[in-house]
Chains A and B, each alone.
Chain A
Amino acid sequence: MLFLLAAKGMLRNLFRSVLTLLGVAIAILAFTFLRTTIEAWYAGVDAASQDRLATRHKVSITLPMPRAYFEKVKDRVTGITAVTYANWVGAVDPKDERAFFANFAVDGETYFETYDEVVIPPGQLAEWRTDPTGCIVGEALAGQKGWKVGDRITLRGTIYPGDLQLTVRGIYGTKRKTFDKSTLFFHWKYLNEIADASRKDQIGFLGIRVADASQGPAIARAVDELFANSDTETLTESERAFNLSFLSMFSTVLKALDVVSVVILCIMGLILANTIAMGVRERTHEYGVLRAIGFQPRHLALLVGGEGLVMGIAGGVVGVAASLVVVNAFGKWLEDNFGQFFPYYSMSTTSVFLGLGLAAIIGLVASLVPAWSAARLEVVQALRRL
């Protein structure tokens, strides 16, 4: 009966209830959408290869190391099956400078052996190796730009001054979903040629594949000991940790998203609290009647709290359902076009339950104060208010 009363109470002002419910739903939609985005961002990190290490400058990922480190590691460290090196170039397409895509200068001989999830038709790979200004592009990037094998393209340097004149020699796919499909690779030798004296013979990071993943930490230590007490000390980490420090360049954005998602929920909670409080104020007289008849303060608190809970859960269900639809619709598109950020863009079960749970909690919390004031009503005063 109390439940019936709560339900009917909500139906009484149907328009307002529906608006409030939609508000909760949209907040939950925004929340789960942002969560999914953040999770997708880290999904690449979590799905990192277990048997790979990366070596970088100890101080910062943005500082270079001498190329000689590559040879030294290759010759002196045991237990590794492949080593390679690359530089983050950061060049842009002058036709669309704001459309970011990753580009690396890589060692033609070793890079795709170390990162063997990259699939390139053997003929194309051979072609590229023989062309000093050739490049290999991801199938998503090629599709986006309309590039085909044989096309000549120009990239404008940002970190490295000058233009890069490249010819597309191959288009790659990937065996693992987490490997970005929108990256461009070209020869490190070409970059080294056009680099000014201060940047010559420098590399950004080393990629190392180990024979036995459990030996990873020991090998990482062995690598760093090679360069200990030199001018340029190194930090070798698992690929996962390396990706994380790479992501840390974007950490401000991620943190902002995180904060925004929480702020949205807080605002929603306040709006919901206000709506519920409004309902309580309107029904003060009715609550007075219930109290006169013999209902206890806790009954009224239950009535109001129940309303908040139902609002929260209903809004949560609608919001999560909507975000499932939205995430599915945009997920594929994002994976294809922004694979470097979202290799896995789909909603996790955690997100679903987090969305539902938070919606319910918000509903409850939002109704705390109104429930408390309903329970505290003085019967005679409430009855006089009409």
Chain B
Amino acid sequence: MADPIVELRAVEKTFTRGRQPVKVLDGLDLTVEAGSFEALMGPSGSGKSTLLNLIAGLDRPTAGTLRVAGEDLGRLSEGGLADWRARNIGFVFQAFNLIPVLTAAQNVELPLVLSPLSTAQRKQHVATALRIVGLADRMDHLPRQLSGGQEQRVAIARAIATDPKIIVADEPTGDLDRHSAEEILGLFAKLNDELGKTIFMVTHDPLAAERAKVVRRMDKGKLLVA
């Protein structure tokens, strides 16, 4: 059995909407093994994105502990958490979220700016990442000159440029047509198989879930036993 890379114990998250507290995550326990490719499904508003954000260190739980990539996230400061994200997490969003004024290569280079790499090394990382997603020939294109599928592939290249252990993806195929979605899912499978990346993906799409090794379901802030 592989080591757990994500461990959640009794995690709760409560938002206050107006004056009313809303418990979005209700005592979650979750273990994800290193090298796994997991899909998280569930109805809208069930707390999937909230859970993903906690795992990725974007937000903090109201109660409970998170150990991710060997770190107790509760112990990190805001700045420490940002550093930790830069080193350990690759993000893929539903809306791609590329910076529109930067070229594909510059977008991919963005997270590397925070690393101690030299310019030459950075260029090399960018080239490698773009080659992996099959867009080596689109380096100098701006996001608006790319199709949705290509944009998402650039976003994936950006997510893997720093060589993070975990890739989190929130409905990565939600804005894509069937064909592009297949491409993206194939890419995730490849990253998982060949590069050993742990992938944690929130999705609505049953076809997407089919590509994952583990499928989890969530409803009303609780994980359902599979």
How many residues on chain B are close to A (CB under 8 Å)? 26
- List 17 additional A-B contacts (Cβ < 8 Å) besides A4-B102, A295-B82: A1-B113, A5-B99, A5-B101, A285-B97, A289-B93, A292-B56, A293-B86, A293-B91, A293-B111, A293-B158, A294-B82, A294-B85, A294-B114, A296-B82, A296-B83, A380-B58, A380-B59
Are A1 and B110 interface neighbours, CB within 8 A? yes
Are A293 and B101 interface neighbours, CB within 8 A? no
Most buried by A among B87, B91, B95, B110: B110
A149 beta carbon closer than 8 Å to chain B = no
Q: Which 6 A-B pairs have the closest CB atoms?
A: A294-B86, A8-B101, A1-B113, A289-B97, A294-B85, A293-B111
Q: For A381, give the chain B residue with the smallest CB separation.
A: B59
0/1 string, B114-128, CB within 8 A of A gives 1: 100000000000000
Are B82 and A291 interface neighbours, CB within 8 A? yes
Which residues of A lie under 8 Å from residue B110 when comparing CB positions? 1, 290, 293
User: Which B residues have a C-beta under 8 Å from some C-beta of A?
Assistant: 53, 56, 58-59, 78-79, 82-83, 85-87, 91, 93, 95, 97, 99-102, 106, 109-111, 113-114, 158
Which residues of B lie under 8 Å from residue A380 when comparing CB positions? 53, 58-59
10 contacts between A and B (CB under 8 A): A1-B106, A1-B113, A8-B101, A11-B101, A285-B97, A291-B82, A292-B56, A292-B91, A295-B82, A296-B82
Q: For A11, give the chain B residue with the smallest CB separation.
A: B101
How many residues on chain A are close to B (CB under 8 Å)? 23
Contact partner of B113 (CB less than 8 A), chosen from A2, A286, A297, A379, is A2
A12 beta carbon closer than 8 Å to chain B = yes
Are B97 and A8 interface neighbours, CB within 8 A? no
Are A297 and B78 interface neighbours, CB within 8 A? yes
Most buried by B among A289, A293, A379: A293
User: Which A residues have a C-beta under 8 Å from some C-beta of B?
Assistant: 1-2, 4-5, 8-9, 11-12, 285-286, 289-297, 379-380, 383, 386
User: In the docked arrangement, what's the CA distance between A259 and B91, Å?
Assistant: 53
Which residues of A lie under 8 Å from residue B97 when comparing CB positions? 285-286, 289, 383
User: In the docked arrangement, what's the CA distance between A11 and B58, Å?
Assistant: 30
Contact partner of B109 (CB less than 8 A), chosen from A1, A294, A296, A297, is A1
Quick one: given A1-B109, A8-B102, A289-B99, are A294 and B83 in contact (CB under 8 Å)? Answer: yes
- Give min CB distance, A3 to chain B, whole Å: 10
Are B99 and A379 interface neighbours, CB within 8 A? no
Which residues of A lie under 8 Å from residue B58 when comparing CB positions? 292, 379-380, 383
User: In the docked arrangement, what's the CA distance between A355 and B147, Å?
Assistant: 48
User: In the docked arrangement, what's the CA distance between A380 and B85, Å?
Assistant: 14
Q: For B83, give the chain A residue with the smallest CB separation.
A: A294
Are A294 and B95 interface neighbours, CB within 8 A? no
User: In the docked arrangement, what's the CA distance between A33 and B128, Å?
Assistant: 56
User: In the docked arrangement, what's the CA distance between A11 and B106, Å?
Assistant: 16
User: In the docked arrangement, what's the CA distance between A286 and B99, Å?
Assistant: 7
Contact partner of B101 (CB less than 8 A), chosen from A12, A296, A297, A383, is A12
Q: For B54, give the chain A residue with the smallest CB separation.
A: A380
- Give min CB distance, A144 to chain B, whole Å: 57
Which residues of B lie under 8 Å from residue A291 when comparing CB positions? 82
- Give min CB distance, A326 to chain B, whole Å: 35
User: In the docked arrangement, what's the CA distance between A295 and B53, Å?
Assistant: 16
Are B79 and A294 interface neighbours, CB within 8 A? no
User: In the docked arrangement, what's the CA distance between A285 and B83, Å?
Assistant: 20
Q: For A10, give the chain B residue with the smallest CB separation.
A: B101
- Give min CB distance, B161 to chain A, whole Å: 10
Quick one: given A292-B91, A294-B86, A295-B114, are A379 and B59 in contact (CB under 8 Å)? Answer: yes
User: In the docked arrangement, what's the CA distance between A14 and B180, Å?
Assistant: 34
User: In the docked arrangement, what's the CA distance between A36 and B83, Å?
Assistant: 51
Contact partner of B95 (CB less than 8 A), chosen from A290, A295, A386, is A386
Which residues of A lie under 8 Å from residue B101 when comparing CB positions? 5, 8-9, 11-12
- Give min CB distance, A382 to chain B, whole Å: 10
Which residues of B lie under 8 Å from residue A4 when comparing CB positions? 102, 106
Are A292 and B85 interface neighbours, CB within 8 A? yes
